[in-house]
Structure 1
Amino acid sequence: MDLTQQSLFDLSLPALREAVADLGEPAFRAAQVFQWIWQKRVRTFSEMSNVSKALRGRLEESFSLARPEPAKVLTSSDGTVKFLLRLADGELIETVLIPEREHYTLCLSTQVGCAMACTFCSTGTMGFHRNLTQGEILGQVLAAQEHIEREKLRMTLRNLVFMGMGEPTQNLDTLLTALATMRESQGLCIGQRRVTVSTVGLPGTLARLGTAEAALLAVSLHAPTQGLREKIMPRAAAAMPLDRLVAELRDYPLKPRERVTIEYILIGGVNDSEREARDLVRLLSTFKSKVNLIAYNPSEGGPYEAPDPERVLAFESLLRAKGVTTILRRSKGQDIKAACGQLVTAHAMEQEATEKGDPQPD
């Protein structure tokens, strides 16, 4: 594969129109090509049967059809599917297909690694490698769709959540372009209300997300006070102090009946006490929100423990009693390292051990 060629998947529909026009072809050809790559998921230019052979040849000279390819696929006993995807340059990312009652939700990555270094996140231990391109972001959707069809799974992919590797707003320009591409009727045709972008909250990004009206908003909070957030999310807390984050969330544009989703990972003995629950209630009383509670999924060698189930239920009950809309999310895929970054870091450790000649665990 020629890595100097840009992948056709990296082009938005307007950019593809320009590229086709530069090749001397009418604009409608761009819509045809766009449909071939996103809806029909072709692997070769020769499969574009309603496109002239001459145009197919010129496209092949200028572009590739590179997109993320599965390096490993693991299926959990609860139906969760985790993909380790290899990019054209050899980098690895994760995406997770999560079964709901009647559909699948896909958790997508936006970066290779992450610069935020949150202390509870396996991806944070990797450091930042690079941003993903549009084709690498949306190519995760194609990989999941192909898996669903190949395995004849009974449900369809409906919702997308950008909660995988990386901080989405640090790749915001590309993400917004990808979300626009995603909505195109000749493409994936996935609307704004089926997409959620999760962010720790960085200066200058929330307003842009709100103005774009491209997705629903989720905020990775995980601590109700600035001091505690500095301990478990030091870089996020330094970049956007909690009082400023809350002020921006008060001003965030919401449609009727919409709320900001607050994500709160309960870490055993760290942020799961009654005191933190009451502090969280006070914090959330100032803007429209709902809370997703998630019990921490420990990683091997990680610094934290899972919370006691009784403390989880007590935390949830207090929030509900105070009128906070609260959803307790059950951890899925624990038997396949489904928490963010666990599979990539485990794969890297396996590779290092193999290179050193160390024995592999059974």
Structure 2
Amino acid sequence: MSVTLDLSRMAHSPSREGADAPKPPINLSGLTRPQMVAALTESGVVEHGKAKMRATQIFRWVHHRGVTDFAQMSDVAKETRARLAERFTIARPEVVERQVSKDGTRKWLIRMAPGIEVETVYIPSVGRVGALCVSSQVGCTLNCSFCHTGTQALVRNLTAAEIVAQVQIAKDDLAEWPSDKEDRLLSNIVFMGMGEPLYNMGQVADAIEIISDNEGIAISRRRITVSTSGVVPQLEALGEKTQAMLAISLHATNDALRDVLVPLNKKYPLDQLMAGIRAYPGLSNARRVTFEYVMLKGVNDSPDEARALVKLIKGIPAKVNLIPFNPWPGTDYQCSDWAAIESFAAILNRAGYSSPIRTPRGRDILAACGQLKSESEKVRASAMRKLSMAAMAGVLDDDEDEAAA
């Protein structure tokens, strides 16, 4: 068994943090085209007059062709390629584990740095042809009581490069390069993985700009959805900066219940959340908000709750995704009976709201909605406990030896 130590929390040695310490290479995969122009110019690798042209070349190689080595950029001078490799990187992070469900869902455990791992899931037959569920943070701070992912403590935000890398890794595995393949399998991106995207707004916005750029991966902003539990002050900025589709992790129709299911509601209660949604830039019948509603048996699945939901979202261009609860080890919640889910959906449909029942995908590999949590985190925690115990035992043994001497 391999053990991964999280060195990010260890005190750094002063000898390694001096002014002469080498800076890690900048990952060009996480730079928008304007940012890439600036980075190339500031590095001195490319002269100012050629930086825009060179950035376009590199951007297309990285995001349209999917290359991971500057040496593959055949229309860039060999000397320039060598200088780029000295100052920058376009390498992928490590795929620690790859799993494929019996229903075709794929899940990757990706190591961004020592102790920094996230899970990313590709779901076939969602959206136009298939959707990729990406993470925006390592862990989560929201502690939603029904969500397995929320039981993992927040480690840090992901960078734009690390968010984009999840898309690149999926495209590698799906053989999706170049990006303009007519039969490509990845058509939609959903920020519904680990973390709260609106608590990492800057990096998420940059990643969306990169992913949607027509010179690269070229996934339309209309096919990129950002799901939030309701960070109300950031809703307007999300719409203005990204023009992404909005999804709200709702799950309850009153503050008392939502305070339990989604504790963030205590900070931004439903009246504030609904006002923020109604003001979301670009919201229209053509750009509806999606309300996500996990079906919990005996908790939020009654006909009265369905009618309350209709009243709550009245006047908002919307659809409601009904999500059968996906069980995970240690939870006390149960999935609603199928008849209750269908009855709930019928009430919404009669009120004029599309309410598809999301087919659970990837349950057998813990890749379904709310199940993402790196199993390696448990291994690391167990290993760290054993190492700590061993170290403590060693110290005690040394103390006893010294006392005996």
TM-score, normalization by structure 2: 0.82
What are the equivalent positions in structure 2 for 1:101-120 lying under 5 Å apart?
103-120=129-146
Aligned counterpart for 1:77 among listed residues 99, 102, 119: 102
Please give the per-residue CA displacement for 1:16-42, whole angstroms capped at 9, x wherever unaligned: 111222324312011111111112222
Give the match for residue 238 of structure 1. 266
| Dislocated runs of 4+, deviation >6 Å | 354-357
Superposition deviation, residue 69 in structure 1: 2.8
| Contact 2:296–2:334 under 8 Å retained in 1 | yes
What SS class does the counterpart of residue 272 from structure 2 fall into?
helix
What are the equivalent positions in structure 2 for 1:15-164 lying under 5 Å apart?
15-22=35-42, 23=44, 24-25=46-47, 26=50, 27-100=52-125, 103-149=129-175, 156-164=185-193
Give the match for residue 344 of structure 1. 373
Larger-Rg structure: 2
Give the match for residue 360 of structure 1. none
**Mind listing any 5+ residue stretches in structure 1 that lack a counterpart?**
358-362
What SS class does the counterpart of residue 292 from structure 1 fall into?
strand
Rounded Cα–Cα distance in structure 1 between residues aligned with 2:58 and 2:338: 52
Superposition deviation, residue 339 in structure 1: 2.9
| Contact 1:223–1:264 under 8 Å retained in 2 | yes
Count of residue pairs the alignment pairs up: 352
Superposition deviation, residue 157 in structure 1: 0.6
Please give the per-residue CA displacement for 1:262-307, whole angstroms capped at 9, x wherever unaligned: 1101112211112211111110113221100000101011231111
**Compared with structure 1, are the counterparts of its residues 98 and 277 closer, same or farther at alpha carbon in structure 2 (3 Å cutoff)?**
same
| Contact 2:110–2:118 under 8 Å retained in 1 | yes
What are the equivalent positions in structure 2 for 1:197-346 lying under 5 Å apart?
197-234=226-263, 236-253=264-281, 254-339=283-368, 342=371, 344-346=373-375
Superposition deviation, residue 10 in structure 1: 2.0
- What is the percent sequence identity of the aligned residues? 41
Rounded Cα–Cα distance in structure 1 between residues aligned with 2:267 and 2:69: 44
Rounded Cα–Cα distance in structure 1 between residues aligned with 2:23 and 2:140: 23
| Contact 2:33–2:55 under 8 Å retained in 1 | yes
| Contact 1:94–1:341 under 8 Å retained in 2 | no
Rounded Cα–Cα distance in structure 2 between residues aligned with 1:328 and 1:311: 12
TM-score, normalization by structure 1: 0.91
Rounded Cα–Cα distance in structure 1 between residues aligned with 2:70 and 2:122: 29
Rounded Cα–Cα distance in structure 2 between residues aligned with 1:331 and 1:169: 26
Aligned counterpart for 1:13 among listed residues 33, 39, 42: 33
Q: Which 10-residue stretch deviates more, 63-72 or 294-303? A: 63-72
Q: Which amino acid is the alignment partner of residue 250 of structure 1?
A: R
Q: Which 10-residue stretch deviates more, 343-352 or 36-45? A: 343-352
